[in-house]
Amino acid sequence: MRLVKTSEDVFVLQCTFDERLVAKEAGMIWNKFAPKCWATKSKNVAAKLARFASPELRVELEGKKKLQEDALVESRAESSDAVIPCPEGMDYLPFQKAGIAYAMKRLVAL
C-alpha cells in the first residue's frame, strides 16, 4: 500500500483488492476514475493511514494528528487562568473559563 498527496490536496491510497478493507475502515472513498485507488480530501482520514505514506507526508499527517490530540485534551480542561471580562460583581465558574478560553483559541486558529 502507498499513500500519496496530489497537487490538488487529495490523498490517494493505492492498494490491492485484498487490502481494500484498510481503506474502507479509515473512511476513504473508492475512486472509480483510477484503478486500485482510494481517495479522500480529509487530512483526518488520511492521518489514519500515515504509516503507508512517504516520510515527508507522514510528518505532515502526524502533525495534524498531534494537533487534534492536543485540542481534545484542551477541550476537557476543568479550569483556566485566562482573564475573561464579565459583568461587574459576577465571575465565571472554572469550567466556564476553560470552555471560553478553548473556544477563543479555536476561533483564532480558524
- pLDDT given at position 8: 87
Q: Is the pTM of this model over 0.85?
A: no
Q: Tell which wins on pLDDT, 58 or 105.
A: 58
- pLDDT given at position 7: 86
Residue 51 is placed in which grid cell?
Answer: 504509516
Claim to verify: residue 48 and residue 94 sit in the same structural domain: no
The answer to whether residue 17 is domain-embedded is yes
Coil/strand/helix, residue 11: strand
Rg from Cα positions in the chain: 20
- Average pLDDT, whole number, for the chain? 89
The answer to whether residue 56 is domain-embedded is yes
43-64 pLDDT tens trace: 889 999 999 999 999 999 988 8
Number of domains in the chain: 2
* Angle (deg, nearest 10), helices 94-109 and 55-75: 150
Q: Is 40 exposed, middle or buried (0-12, 13-18, 19+ CB in 10 A)?
A: buried
